[in-house]
Amino acid sequence: MSTTVQLPETDAEGYLVEPLDWTEEVAEELARQESIRLTEDHWDAIRFMREYYMERQIAADVRHVMKHLAQKHGAESRNRIFELFPYGYVKQACKIAGMKRPRGWSTG
């Protein structure tokens, strides 16, 4: 039986207001809202994004995540991020990873 997780404060678009409020349970709930069932490949991208954020206090640009996936899984997986998050890196990956909505980025 699945229970809904109480989400921390989000903005009008559903992004966390405070990225430090993120937990894996929050990610699961945000993914559920996006109709995404998180696999180990999703978690690999999300954990990379979280580590990048914790080190730099800024959301990773999609090219950094693509490079990470290519280094870990081979060059053919370079565009895997767009398969994992079909409605866009910012719209889904950043949201599920607990990033604030990046200013000035398109939702792609």
Q: Is residue 68 part of a domain?
A: yes
Which structure tokens are listed for 100? Answer: 């604030």
In a domain, 70, yes or no: yes
Please report whether residue 49 resides in a domain.
Answer: yes
**What's residue 106's pLDDT?**
47
pTM: 0.88
Residue 14 domain-assigned (yes or no): no
Task: Kindly state whether residue 104 falls inside one of the protein's structural domains.
Answer: no
Q: How many distinct structural domains can be found in the chain?
A: 1
Residue 87: domain span: 19-96
Report the CATH number that the domain containing residue 38 is assigned in CATH. 1.10.10.370
Residue 52 lies in a domain: yes
pLDDT, one tens digit for every residue, the chain (108 residues): 456 678 999 999 999 999 999 999 999 999 999 999 999 999 999 999 999 999 999 999 999 999 999 998 888 877 899 999 999 998 999 999 999 887 765 444
Is residue 103 in a domain?
no
